[in-house]
Structure 1
Amino acid sequence: MTFESWAVFVPAAFALSLYPGPNNLLALSHGARFGTATALVAAAGRFPPFALFVLGAAIGLGTLITTSATLFTAFKILGAAYLVWLGWRMLRAGDGLDGTVEAGPGARLPALLRREFLTAITNPKAMLVFTAFLAPFVDPSQPAFGQFVLLGAAALALEVAAVVIYAVAGERLGGFARSRGLLGAVNKASGGLLIAAGALLAVASRPATT
């Protein structure tokens, strides 16, 4: 890639990583409820699926999901159901923790890591985003696989920066809410947003093929 291509790719990838999708909403919620450090560690759960999506884009799996209505529908129904279930648990949590997260920090992290992982791995839109976004920056005169991997690695590095922003913002929001006895409202807002994200995923259309 040329310098000019990188100059376009980096800010565009960073803007994409800041999109308030399900995983970023989780980072915001985890930051509000458990603090920045815990939210950052928990966010590590999203990166194995995202790395797989980059690899999938490099070997053409994104195209397979795009062209297979059955596969796309199966993934989106699974992902939507998980987001709605998770959002419902948060709505019912009130001022405390929902039943999927234990109170002790040592017991809490595996559950939060699992949330991030499952939210990422069951979202077919995430793989399609990686495929659709990275492909235009690949030089067709050069081997595609290595370019996809390099671009994907850069996108994942920018994803880390986005996680930090959401986690810190969540902690600030949580501190404000706790000082005014509004942590239950944060739980309800987080749950409602995840349910909305699940509903949007459930009605998402399969991208048109050419």
Structure 2
Amino acid sequence: MTVESALSFFLAVLVFGITPGPGVFAILARALVNGAGSCTLLALGMIFSDILYLIAACLGLAAIATHWSELFTAIRIIGAAYLFYLGYKMWTAPVSAEAMSDSKISRSGMATSFLQGFLISASNPKVILFYIAFLPTFMDLSILTASDIVLASVLTLVALMIGIMSIAAFAAKARGLFRSERAMKRLNRSAGSIMAGAGAYLALRQ
């Protein structure tokens, strides 16, 4: 991968990362309720899934998707159902003084957050299509080397973290406007609606 293609790939992934979709909606919902810091493991889970898709695309994901389309459909439906569940949990979340401040996440909570991010991204067909469609634009897959894959993975990690955490920081700033319990209750329900909307988007997307 040349310097020019690496830079172009980085910018393309950055734009892809902030494009509205289930992952962005999930980050917005989490940041609105718990602040930007709570989105770090969620974002890393999403990015880890993206990197796996990137590597798979380099190794022939197009052929895999053609023969295992039913499996991808099942993953998408499961992911959509999970987003609906998260939306319900946010909608019904109790409001307290503790809830109106950034809460610390336990180790089990960190693992759960990472898994949530992984499932959200893994069940989004847009991720698969992006890497299948755009990788040939930035690199010659016929002469791809291990170092090219490592470089593309690192660029993906950095670009997506910048994009996703920028969205989280923006949402967290907006969260500062909601300090009363009544406002927080509305915020929780708004965040839950966003999450459920992400589930509907994912379920209806072909």
Deviation beyond 4 Å, 4+ runs, structure 1: none
Q: For residues 72 and 113 of structure 1, what CA distance do their matches in structure 2 show?
A: 21
Distance 1:68 1:12, change over 3 A: same
Q: Deviations over 1:145-178 (max 9, x none)?
A: 6534422321221001012202211221211122
C-alpha displacement at 1:190, in angstroms?
A: 2.0
Partner of 1:49: 49
Partner of 2:126 in structure 1? 125
Instruction: Name the structure 2 match of 1:100.
Output: none
Q: Which deviates further from its counterpart, 33-42 or 11-20? A: 33-42
Tell whether the 8 Å contact from 1:9 to 1:137 is kept in structure 2 after alignment: yes
Aligned length: 199
Alignment check: 8 A CA contact 1:138 1:144 kept? no
Give CA deviations for 1:164-196 in whole Å, capped at 9, x if unaligned.
Answer: 202211221211122584222222222222222
SS at match of 1:177: coil
Identity of aligned residues (%): 29
What RMSD over aligned residues (CA atoms) do the two structures have, in Å? Answer: 2.7
For 1:146 and 1:63, the matched residues in 2 are separated by 23
State the match for 2:186 in structure 1. 185
The alpha-carbon distance between structure 1 residues 127 and 144, as it changes in their structure 2 partners (threshold 3 A), is farther
How far 1:127 sits from its partner (Å)? 2.7
Match of 1:82 in 2: 82
Q: Which residue is 2:152 aligned to?
A: 151
2:100 is aligned to none
Q: Read off the aligned partner of 2:44 and give its amino acid letter.
A: A
Deviations 1:29-50 (A, max 9, x none): 2222222223224422223322
Supply the AA of the counterpart residue of 1:46.
M
SS of 2:176's equivalent? helix
Relative distance call for 1:125 and 1:63 in structure 2 (3 A) is farther
Q: Which has the higher contact order (CA 8 A, sep 6+)?
A: 2
| TM superposition shift of 1:76 | 1.4
